[in-house]
Structure 1
Amino acid sequence: MNKYDNVAPIVRSPAPILLIGAGDLRREDIKIAGNHAQAVVAADGGGAVALSHGLMPTAVIGDMDSLSEVARSDPRIAGRIHPIEDQDSTDFDKVMRSVEAPLMLAVGFSGGRLDHHLAVLNVLVRRPDRRCIVLDAEMAVFLCPPGLEMDLPVGSLFSLFPMGPVGVESAGLRWPTGGIPFRPDSRVGTSNEVSGPVRLQADGPKMLVLVPKAALGEAVRAVLDAPRWPSP
């Protein structure tokens, strides 16, 4: 927590929001994620990316160290830029704490540099009350809510990765997870498979769920229907 955590949100939305970063992304990913969102928010250099794809961000949020001068002076977004002069957090974190929405779908935040990708996963766990699904070239990843129900094709890949000590009771997975003390430095739950309707109960906000990108629609439905973790 720092002094910027308790400021009023910059964007409030009653509907899911598409978050666009300046990392690796494909037009297909923007389209797939955008099908589930009604507004766009960009992180720093993601503002120029959004414009290049014909999207108008409601807000561009970040420390503005990667948004070009050309983009900053673009009259289409000049009044939508919200600098946050916090060097102790990433632009993804700045956006997550500045947006209130039922769900955020993030593209352009994974791939490329591994350290950037790891920082994104760290934020998903540190801000459990901000529901977000991060999409990359192959997978969709999100923080497991207290309870989760998903209907996926039998045989689908279903991975669990702990970001801290956590237990998860499960049904509908080929290898059940109940009673396993998951930890990032010991037992993880990657490369599991769906055997039926998936039901999870997590005892804390520390477990990441990873499913194939093709399952994004079901992931969106499931996360929106699930109970939320309280604010830390």
Structure 2
Amino acid sequence: MKNQIVDSSAPVLLVGGGECPRAALIDALAVTKTVVAADGGAAHCLELGRVPDAVIGDMDSLDPDLAARLPEGVLHRITEQDSTDFDKCLRMVQAPLVLGHGFLGARLDHQLAAMTVLVRRADRLCVLVGAEDVVCVAPPRLALDLPLGARVSLFPMAPVTGRSTGLRWPIDGIGFAPGGRVGTSNEVSGPVTLEMDGPSMLLILPVACLNALLAGLAEAPRWPARAI
């Protein structure tokens, strides 16, 4: 695709500069061919001996000594300050799936900004992976094979409605909205299906459910791109 820094037919690992559990990142690096770092996230990669294929951001948090270690053509500086480095990366990376490490945990304001970007770029399928949770924008339709009793949390970033099966508390007929009704701490009671009427609902699952989530997303339709 034109105007993309990275264009991959396979999933891409995106590494941010925030809290990044070492073991999980090692596992992700071992199974992902293309690695992109968001600004200072390059430090996490270099610490583990992996030079990112691209480093994207305004470079305000990347140590100059680390930047000097990067091969020519890896650093992609985007100086505008109207978007976060995460946003810059998502809009410049074209891939069937982006797995984001280093965006959850630590600073709450950074996490909230990342959640906003997930919704803004809902057409870019992205799953953020943290120490405790994984989160993505719920697609139009999704089927999940999850353990009975597993936690399923839904958090609206804008007014949205949907339908469900396999949840202890069905969501049918509920008008969700920030500052209004939210759907946190639901539980799996059977095979889970979710249908959403808009790209504004965050789906939050325990990190142990990552593989089940990826399997479901692989079969799910995607949201179309929106004019921003």
TM-score, length-scaled by structure 1? 0.94
Q: Which amino acid is 1:52 matched to?
A: E
| Aligned residue identity for 1:158 | V
Q: 1:36: Cα distance to partner?
A: 5.5
Counterpart-to-counterpart distance in 1, 2:133 and 2:72: 34
Would you say the 8 A contact 1:128–1:231 is kept in 2?
Answer: yes
Asked if 1:180 corresponds to 2:174, the answer is yes
State the partner residue of 2:50.
55
Q: Check the 8 A contact 2:21/2:130 in 1, yes or no.
A: no
Q: 1:37 and 2:42 equivalent?
A: no
Q: Distance in 2 between matches of 1:83 and 1:125?
A: 24
Shift of 1:111: 1.2
Q: Secondary structure of the equivalent of 2:17?
A: coil
The equivalent residue for 2:93 is 99
The answer on 1:210 being equivalent to 2:187 is no
- Amino acid paired to 1:216: L
**Counterpart-to-counterpart distance in 2, 1:55 and 1:220:** 24
Q: Is the 8 A contact 1:72 1:78 kept in 2?
A: no
Contact 1:57 1:77 in 2 (8 A): no
Letter in 1 for 2:208: A
Per the alignment, in what secondary structure is the counterpart of residue 214 of structure 2?
A: helix
Q: TM-score, normalised by structure 2?
A: 0.95
Cα offset, 1:26, TM superposition: 1.3
Counterparts of 1:82 and 1:25, CA distance in 2: 22
Q: 1:4-23 residue pairs with structure 2 within 5 A?
A: 8-23=3-18
Unmatched 5+ stretches in structure 2: none
Aligned residue in 1 for 2:159:
165
CA shift for structure 1 position 35: 5.7
Please say if residues 154 and 182 of structure 2, whose CA atoms lie closer than 8 Å, have aligned partners that are also in contact: yes
Unaligned runs of 5+ in 1: 1-5
Question: Which digits, 9 at most, give the CA deviation of each residue in 1:46-80, with x for residues without a partner?
Answer: 11221111222110000011111111111x43430
The residue aligned with 2:187 is 193
Equivalent of 2:110 in 116, 120, 127:
116
- Counterpart in 2 of 1:143? 137
Residue 79 of structure 1 aligns to a residue whose secondary structure is coil
* Aligned counterparts of 1:188 and 1:172: Cα–Cα separation in 2: 18
Identity in percent: 52
Partner of 1:226: 220
Moved over 4 A (4+): none
SS at match of 1:93: helix
The answer to whether the 8 A contact 1:162-1:184 is kept is yes
Partners of 2:16 and 2:101 within 8 A in 1: yes
Describe the superposition over 1:131-154 as per-residue Cα deviations: whole angstroms up to 9, x where unpaired. 100011100000000000000000
- Specify which of 46, 63, 67 is matched with residue 68 of structure 1: 63
Give me the whole-angstrom Cα distance separating, in 2, the residues matched to 1:41 and 1:138: 23
What number of residue pairs does the alignment pair up? 226
Letter in 2 for 1:190: T
The AA in structure 2 aligned to 1:10 is I
